[in-house]
Amino acid sequence: MRVVRLGILGLVCLTCGLALAKPKARGGALGPARVLRQANRLYEEVEYGKAARRYARVATDPRATPEQKVEALSRRAYCLVALGREAQASDAFLQLLRIQPGWTPPKHLSPKVRAVFDEARRLAQAFAVHLDAQWNAVEGTLDVLVDDPDAQVASVAVRADPVDPAQASPRSAEQVGPGRWRLRLPAGGSTSVLATAYNAYGYPVAQLGNERAPLRLVAPPPPKAAPPPPSPEPTMPDPPPAAGPSPWVYVLGGAGAAALAAGGYFGWRSLSGALRYERDPGSFRDQAEALAFADQVERDAQAANLLYAAGGVLAASALTLWWVEAQDAAPRLQVSLLPVPGGGLAAVGGRW
């Protein structure tokens, strides 16, 4: 009887334990769509901390679709900015841009969130993918060269059409080496192509050409025969280089300028003294001081006149010497006889 009671008690305990564990197991197996809905509800209730944790679960869930990851990462970044954790918000935006590089935020974003996103987009430019093309018109091969610093490219598709590549069906290029994808095209002629690189999530990360301006591949023209070398033409001798003014021009000109400047100074001092003598005679202590001051004013005036005359003579001498040298250096007629190809003639050339 005691054994039966113990068995019944154990069965009841086991049933209760399973009942308690079942909701927990069911909660741990929630799909990303359900967790995303829970996070959105918490976001609307301004429970940013709880919402950010659920968004992180969706972003790292391998069952989540790329669209769900993008939504979760963008909402997680909004929550983190609201919580004052801008660095973590920038990391969330960077993860988003690795999934969908062309993602753009909604227009109603606050300036604070937009500033964090702009900084993340600037950092993502360091991992931007760039495409280039090499076309072999003879063999009919188009090589798409991929510069992919972060190993984002998973496939390359090319649309090629002689007229409108937008109407052509995309064709997958074959990877033939690191950063090189190849596609066979008709040899010769010309064609227009649109090449697009995609990441593992199926989003485009780079494009070569666009719908309005596709990349035009034109076959190079056949090489032309080299033209015959031109016949030598008669050349004239170069004129001798023009000689500059002699040093005496600068010496005389500089001395004249200095004399005129000194004359200006003494003239100004003489004029100032004369005005004082005439307008303020009371500023002198006695008649002797006034007469001495008048003598000084007169000497300054004489010095100014002398310097003006000397400066004028020196400046005129410098100008005269410069004019004479310029006349001596004027070009003269030079006549030279040059042979003309073909013989029998001569060309007369000269310089004036």
Q: At 98, which CATH number?
A: 1.25.40.10
Out of 111, 126, 141, a domain closes at: 126
Residue 27 and residue 6: Cα distance in Å, rounded? Answer: 32
The confidence score (pLDDT) of residue 163 equals 63
Tell me, yes or no, whether 122 and 134 share the same domain.
no
| Residues constituting the chain | 352
- Residue 57 lies in domain: 32-126
Out of 88, 110, 126, a domain closes at: 126
Q: Is residue 47 part of a domain?
A: yes
Tell me, yes or no, whether 62 and 103 share the same domain.
yes
The confidence score (pLDDT) of residue 342 equals 53
Q: Is residue 79 part of a domain?
A: yes
Q: Which helix (H) or strand (E) holds 106?
A: none
Residue 92 and residue 202: Cα distance in Å, rounded? Answer: 20
Tell me, yes or no, whether 113 and 139 share the same domain.
no
Tell me, yes or no, whether 92 and 157 share the same domain.
no
Q: Is residue 349 part of a domain?
A: no
Angle, CA of 171, 177 and 183, to the nearest 5°: 25
How much is the pTM?
0.51
Tell me, yes or no, whether 150 and 210 share the same domain.
yes
Tell me, yes or no, whether 173 and 253 share the same domain.
no
Q: Is residue 13 part of a domain?
A: no
Q: Is residue 309 part of a domain?
A: yes
Which tokens is 102 given? 């062309």
Out of 126, 150, 176, a domain closes at: 126
Residue 191 and residue 189: Cα distance in Å, rounded? Answer: 7
Phi, psi of 241 (to 5 degrees): -65, 140
Tell me, yes or no, whether 85 and 152 share the same domain.
no
Q: What is the domain-level CATH number for residue 206?
A: 2.60.40.10
Q: Quick check: 185 and 171 in contact, CB under 8 A?
A: no
Determine how β-strand 180-184 pairs with β-strand 141-147: antiparallel
Tell me, yes or no, whether 43 and 115 share the same domain.
yes
Number of independent structural domains in the chain = 3
Contacts of 223 (CB under 8 A, 6+ apart): none
Q: Is residue 74 part of a domain?
A: yes
Tell me, yes or no, whether 146 and 102 share the same domain.
no
Q: Which helix (H) or strand (E) holds 299?
A: helix 287-328
Angle, CA of 60, 29 and 54, to the nearest 5°: 45
Q: Quick check: 350 and 333 in contact, CB under 8 A?
A: yes
Q: Is residue 169 part of a domain?
A: yes
Tell me, yes or no, whether 109 and 139 share the same domain.
no
Q: Is residue 233 part of a domain?
A: no
Digit-by-digit pLDDT tens for the chain (352 residues) are 454 454 554 444 444 444 444 444 343 467 999 999 999 999 999 999 999 999 999 999 999 999 999 999 999 999 999 999 999 999 999 999 999 998 988 888 889 999 999 999 999 888 888 888 877 777 777 888 888 888 888 898 888 776 667 667 788 888 888 888 887 876 656 677 788 889 888 899 888 877 677 777 766 655 666 777 776 666 666 655 556 677 877 777 788 788 788 878 888 887 787 777 677 777 777 777 777 777 887 888 888 888 878 878 877 887 887 777 777 665 555 555 555 555 544 455 544 4
Residue 81 and residue 89: Cα distance in Å, rounded? Answer: 6
Tell me, yes or no, whether 179 and 102 share the same domain.
no
Tell me, yes or no, whether 108 and 49 share the same domain.
yes
